Amino acid sequence: MSAKIPEPGASASLAKTVSDADVRSFAAISLDDNPVHLDEDYAKTTRFGARIAHGMLAASLVSAVLGTRLPGPGTVYLGQSLSFKGPVFIGDTITATATVKAVRSDKPIVTLETVVTNQRGETILTGEAVVLVPQST
């Protein structure tokens, strides 16, 4: 199955409520056991006042949008810029949205604006992805 080359302006989103289990699993997989993610007592002493999810956990939802929705299955990252704007707390519902900015005319390469927001409409993360869209053979 190959993804279709999308048109500029096309957009897709994916939402997820971040759970304690998600954060603990991500810590185990990534080896990032920073106490701000895992230790409530420690996290209470930080500027956030509570545990927060890994920034890359939020960013991974962008990857999910690209590989499952737009452009879709088989899409491969060539690059991704990220700018973290705010924390994701356990229990937040975050939505990753990818919007096509440009499509190269000479190759199946697409540039997308990437944004993650929370349930309050606050921007958590912004960036730009460049992906290769596989073509049917």
Count of Cβ atoms closer than 10 Å to residue 50 Cβ: 13
pLDDT digits (tens, 9 = 90+) for 52-82: 999 999 999 999 999 999 999 999 999 999 9
Contacts of 29 by beta carbon, 8 Å cutoff, 6+ apart: none
**Which phi and psi angles does 2 have, rounded to 5°?**
-120, 150
- Pull the structure tokens for residue 29: 């997989």
pLDDT at 4 over 90: no
pLDDT at 137 over 60: no
Residue 135 confidence (pLDDT):
78
Q: What does the mean pLDDT of the chain come to?
A: 95
Residue 112 confidence (pLDDT):
98
Residue 2 confidence (pLDDT):
65
Q: Domains in the chain, ordered, with CATH?
A: 11-17+59-132 (3.10.129.10)
User: 3-class SS at 94?
Assistant: strand
**Tokens 């929705």, residue located:** 69
**Strand pairing report for 93-103 and 76-84:** unpaired
